[in-house]
């Protein structure tokens, strides 16, 4: 009955948490099958493995590819790709559109393992006593706090490979520690195999965090080997007390498990090395000097040259610790969601960083968890708490999982996910120790504790949800124009409601070189609304004069082959063509090409179409920020920035001499769209609402 109550309340908390995560990861659309730039990497890897090789398309991986002997490989572990295979075996319609589903699944898997780990820790700390409904509901709520009041929720801010790798890495590492604790509590061959299998999945997903449970298994193997040697030396089964402080004993059967634990440690290490050798001709390191981004970015080359060809070094630890532990890593704003990131991380010492991305800290984004983690750490190190001895090596391994993010020349908020296994372990220990203390406390003290922890948990949910919204709609370089416009519109409505006036905007003739992050500028008389992300300007809304072309498109019933012209602008040497191709299974795909000899076609996402149905298509040819966009019924299906700090493809020009649905043949395209296209008048309602006089 006790475990049933625990399962029921945990299931409810996980389901409710998943709804919140879904709302955020789908950009409030509840459509889990969206596609963006960098969201198709695992699909590409899965397709490659299904064809018997590891290398993938160099154009598809773009800046993230690593070249080895003329072939291009991705450096992310294969587990999320393997999880896609049962779907990709039966259809290609979801290629590039599974990342949202994968993120949601990883979030739920993480919370399932959190709940399991919490139950095991409850048994370890308090024994198998009856669990009342009150304790069960509080424990379920704490599982929700771990999910919603931490970086796990923030990872919903981007359906890209970067966040997917982080979330699956954290989820499977927590699962590995859950399996290891199961072995510590009740040693057996089956539990060793389970722990080794989970550790393998973790390290083959994200090596920096997955190494933690592998280290724990190795330490357990050494401990069991030491116990066996001690006994052979005449210590006997009663002489294991020198190892009691680490919780390493022989268990009820009096047997040690050295061989099994050694094998469980070796398998993930060997598999990781084999895959790394196949792809990069190195056992454990990543040859970042061969990454495409390195070839395109002078600053990356300078960082690698200054650090012996690596992005890792012990000299980065002080900066990493300060960045991820500082108590003031948050900035409040008058604009919804009223919180945003602070400035770049403060450098400690003379270190050169590759990137200092937007980042907050663990104390700010998960204060309730950090307080209970401190309580758990204090309880863990106290010698008299013998029931916690078996947890110490797990915490040591979880601490190892944080080394990667502290020693890399890269600061990013998503990297807090590598800290989550350590925070989860310590906070759950602190939670269960705190529950024992809370039940013995006076009523007034219990009331204060509940109010304080509820307030901290609510604050954490707000901060992580708020930072997720800001990052997803304002700070990512690959944000579609429709996504930026969505947040600015909401902010304008909130500002009118709360303050009676729109957010601050500046009207300019030309965009300045720099501005505060999030700043809004209107060019001319609503030619365009632009937002500065801290590095460069991006479009929020365009007028026809600024490069917008709005259409109504009807696809023909009979499918046509090749690329069909949608909009052709300018002249052959100074113009552009946006085309569409009709694919099997009622799919379509936009293509963009600069009309100059030798240029390549750039593909958008595949999207479903219904022949005969009329679609509203908003196109953008933004010469000010060098961005091409195609939005179909509110969903961005092509978004290409042709000029950024690290690459330049070709100039984007404001549409001149626009031809709709037909045009001269360009290499790889036909001369006419076989359906119907009607050009519409472009309106700028957002710009109008932002003007001070409106």
Q: Which residue, 199, 192, 204, 208, is CA-closest to 273?
A: 204
Note whether 172 and 213 are same-domain residues: yes
DSSP assigned state of 688: H
Residue given tokens 């970086």 in the structure block: 151
Most confident of the ranges 254-258, 323-327, 637-641:
323-327
Note whether 513 and 446 are same-domain residues: no
Banded pLDDT at 574 (limits 50, 70, 90): confident
Whole-number pLDDT of residue 239 = 46
Q: Where are the beta strands (DSSP E) in 525-609?
A: 528-532, 537-542, 548-554, 563-571, 574-583, 587-594, 602-608
Note whether 308 and 377 are same-domain residues: yes
Q: Which residues of 513-528 are buried (b: 16+ CB within 10 A; e: fewer)?
A: eebebbbbbbbeebbb
Q: Is residue 476, in this structure, part of any structural domain at all?
A: no
Banded pLDDT at 493 (limits 50, 70, 90): very high
CATH number of the domain that 616 lies in? 2.60.120
- Tally of helices (H runs) and strands (E runs) in the chain: 22, 20
Number of domains in the chain: 2
Whole-number pLDDT of residue 252 = 42
Whole-number pLDDT of residue 644 = 56
| Confidence check: pLDDT of 693 > 70 | no
Whole-number pLDDT of residue 1 = 53
What's the token pair of residue 194? Answer: 């389970």
- Asked which of 411, 441, 470 is the last residue of a domain, the reply is 470
Whole-number pLDDT of residue 481 = 83
Note whether 78 and 215 are same-domain residues: yes
Note whether 446 and 512 are same-domain residues: no
**SS3 call for 654:** coil
Counting every residue written for the chain, the total comes to 694
- The answer for 456, left when phi > 0, alpha when psi is -120 to 50, beta otherwise, is alpha
Q: State the SS3 of 262-299.
A: HHHHHHHHHHHHHHHHHHHCCCCCCCHHHEHHHHHCHH
Tell me what the mean pLDDT of segment 274-284 comes to: 95
| CA–CA separation, 142 and 131 (whole Å) | 15
Note whether 386 and 516 are same-domain residues: no
Whole-number pLDDT of residue 523 = 93
Output 439 or 646, whichever has higher pLDDT. 439
> What residues does 410 pair with on adjacent strands?
355
Q: Is residue 475, in this structure, part of any structural domain at all?
A: no
198 touches 213 (CB < 8 A): yes
> What residues does 565 pair with on adjacent strands?
579
Banded pLDDT at 249 (limits 50, 70, 90): low
Note whether 463 and 516 are same-domain residues: no
Note whether 315 and 461 are same-domain residues: yes
Banded pLDDT at 694 (limits 50, 70, 90): very low
- Asked which of 438, 470, 502 is the last residue of a domain, the reply is 470
595 touches 570 (CB < 8 A): yes
Note whether 338 and 384 are same-domain residues: yes
Collect all residues with Cβ–Cβ distance below 8 Å to 109 and sequence separation of at least 6: 171, 172, 175
Q: Is residue 603, in this structure, part of any structural domain at all?
A: yes
Sheet with 506-508: strands ordered across = 506-508, 520-523, 528-532, 537-542
Q: Which residue, 263, 249, 557, 507, is CA-closest to 393?
A: 249
Q: State the SS3 of 153-202.
A: HHHHHCCCHHHHHHHHHHHHHHHHHHHHHHHHHCCCHHHHHHHHHHHHHH
Q: What is the pLDDT of residues 597-638, one digit of tens each?
A: 778 888 888 888 998 899 999 999 888 888 888 999 888 888
530 touches 537 (CB < 8 A): yes
Banded pLDDT at 640 (limits 50, 70, 90): confident
Residue given tokens 């304790």 in the structure block: 135
Sheet with 574-583: strands ordered across = 602-608, 587-594, 574-583, 563-571, 659-660
Q: What is the pLDDT of residues 355-385, one digit of tens each?
A: 999 999 999 999 999 999 999 999 998 877 7
Cα-Cα-Cα-Cα dihedral of 80, 83, 89, 92, to 10°? Answer: -40
Q: What is the percent of the chain where pLDDT is above 90?
A: 62
| Confidence check: pLDDT of 467 > 70 | yes
Q: Is residue 643, in this structure, part of any structural domain at all?
A: yes
Residue 422 vs residues 124, 425, 486, 688: alpha-carbon distances, Å: 18, 5, 36, 49
Half-sphere exposure of 101 (CA within 13 A, CB side): 15
Tell me what the mean pLDDT of segment 288-302 comes to: 91
Banded pLDDT at 648 (limits 50, 70, 90): low
Q: Is residue 78, in this structure, part of any structural domain at all?
A: yes
Q: What is the pLDDT of residues 650-692, one digit of tens each?
A: 677 777 788 898 888 777 778 889 889 999 999 999 999 998 7
Residue 435's domain comprises: 2-470
- Asked which of 470, 494, 522 is the last residue of a domain, the reply is 470
Angle value at C-alpha 66, between 70 and 274, nearest 5 degrees = 90
Note whether 532 and 551 are same-domain residues: yes
| CA–CA separation, 557 and 565 (whole Å) | 17
Lowest mean pLDDT among 57-71, 208-222, 342-356: 57-71
Note whether 456 and 497 are same-domain residues: no
What's the token pair of residue 363? Answer: 């104390």
Phi then psi for 579, rounded to 5 degrees?
Answer: -120, 170
Whole-number pLDDT of residue 385 = 76
Whole-number pLDDT of residue 63 = 87
Q: Which residue, 580, 635, 613, 642, is CA-closest to 100?
A: 635
Note whether 445 and 501 are same-domain residues: no
| CA–CA separation, 313 and 69 (whole Å) | 28
286 touches 207 (CB < 8 A): no
Cα-Cα-Cα-Cα dihedral of 582, 583, 584, 585, to 10°? Answer: -80
Radius of gyration of the chain from its Cα atoms, rounded to whole angstroms: 28
Whole-prediction pTM: 0.91
């Amino acid at each position: 009955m006790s475990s049933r109550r625990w399962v029921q309340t945990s299931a409810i908390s996980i389901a409710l948490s998943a709804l919140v995560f879904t709302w955020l990861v789908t950009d409030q659309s509840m459509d889990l099958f969206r596609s963006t730039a960098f969201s198709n990497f695992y699909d590409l890897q899965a397709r490659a493995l299904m064809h018997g090789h590891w290398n993938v398309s160099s154009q598809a991986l773009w800046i993230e590819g690593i070249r080895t002997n003329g072939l291009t490989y991705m450096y992310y572990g294969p587990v999320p790709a393997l999880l896609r295979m049962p779907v990709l075996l039966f259809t290609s319609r979801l290629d590039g559109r599974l990342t949202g589903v994968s993120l949601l699944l990883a979030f739920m898997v993480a919370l399932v393992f959190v709940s399991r780990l919490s139950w095991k820790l409850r048994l370890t700390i308090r024994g198998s006593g009856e669990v009342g409904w009150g304790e069960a509901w509080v424990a379920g709520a704490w599982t929700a706090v771990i999910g919603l009041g931490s970086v796990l929720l923030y990872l919903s801010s981007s359906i890209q490979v970067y966040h997917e790798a982080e979330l699956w890495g954290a989820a499977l590492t927590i699962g590995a520690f859950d399996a290891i604790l199961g072995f510590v509590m009740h040693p057996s061959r089956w539990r060793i195999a389970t722990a080794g299998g989970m550790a393998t999945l973790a390290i083959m997903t994200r090596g920096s965090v997955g190494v933690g449970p592998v280290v724990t298994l190795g330490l357990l193997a050494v401990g069991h080997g030491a116990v066996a040697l001690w006994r052979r030396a005449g210590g006997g089964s009663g002489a294991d007390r020198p190892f009691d402080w680490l919780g390493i004993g022989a268990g009820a059967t009096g047997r040690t498990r050295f061989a099994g634990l050694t094998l469980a440690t070796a398998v993930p290490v060997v598999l990781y090395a084999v895959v790394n050798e196949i792809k990069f001709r190195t056992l454990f390191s990543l040859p970042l000097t061969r990454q495409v981004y390195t070839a395109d970015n002078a600053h990356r080359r300078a960082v690698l040259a200054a650090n012996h060809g690596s992005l890792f070094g012990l000299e980065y630890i002080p900066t990493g610790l300060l960045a991820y532990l500082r108590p003031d890593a948050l900035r409040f704003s008058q604009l919804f969601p009223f919180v945003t990131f602070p400035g770049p991380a403060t450098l400690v010492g003379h270190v050169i960083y590759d990137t200092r991305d937007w980042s907050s800290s663990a104390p700010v984004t998960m204060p309730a968890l950090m307080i209970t983690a401190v309580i758990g750490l204090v309880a863990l190190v106290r010698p008299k708490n013998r029931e916690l001895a078996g947890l110490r090596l797990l915490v040591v391994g979880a601490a190892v999982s944080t080394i990667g993010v502290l020693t890399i020349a890269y600061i990013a908020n998503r990297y807090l996910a590598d800290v989550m296994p350590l925070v989860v372990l310590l906070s759950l220990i602190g939670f269960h120790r705190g529950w024992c203390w809370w039940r013995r406390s006076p009523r007034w003290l219990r009331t204060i504790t509940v109010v304080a922890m509820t307030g901290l948990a609510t604050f954490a949910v707000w901060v992580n949800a708020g930072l997720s919204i800001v990052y997803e709609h304002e700070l990512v370089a690959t944000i579609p124009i429709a996504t930026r416009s969505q947040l600015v519109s909401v902010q304008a409505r909130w500002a009118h409601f709360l303050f009676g006036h729109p957010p601050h905007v500046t009207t300019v003739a030309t965009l300045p070189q720099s501005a505060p992050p999030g700043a809004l500028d209107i060019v001319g008389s609503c030619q365009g609304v632009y937002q500065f992300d801290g590095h460069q300007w991006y479009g929020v809304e365009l007028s026809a004069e600024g490069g917008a072309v709005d259409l109504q498109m009807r696809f023909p019933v009979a499918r046509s082959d090749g690329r069909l012209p949608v909009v052709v602008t300018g002249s052959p040497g100074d113009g552009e063509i946006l085309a569409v191709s009709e694919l099997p299974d009622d799919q379509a795909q936009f293509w963009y090409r600069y009309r100059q000899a030798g240029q390549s076609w750039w593909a958008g996402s595949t999207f479903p179409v219904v022949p005969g149905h009329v679609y509203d298509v908003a196109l953008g040819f933004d010469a000010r920020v060098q961005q091409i966009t195609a939005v179909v019924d509110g969903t961005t299906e092509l978004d290409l920035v042709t000029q950024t700090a690290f690459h330049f493809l070709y100039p984007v020009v404001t549409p001149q001499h626009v031809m709709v649905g037909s045009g001269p043949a360009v290499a790889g395209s036909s001369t006419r769209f076989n359906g119907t296209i009607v050009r519409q008048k472009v309106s700028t309602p957002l710009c109008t609402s932002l003007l001070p006089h409106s």
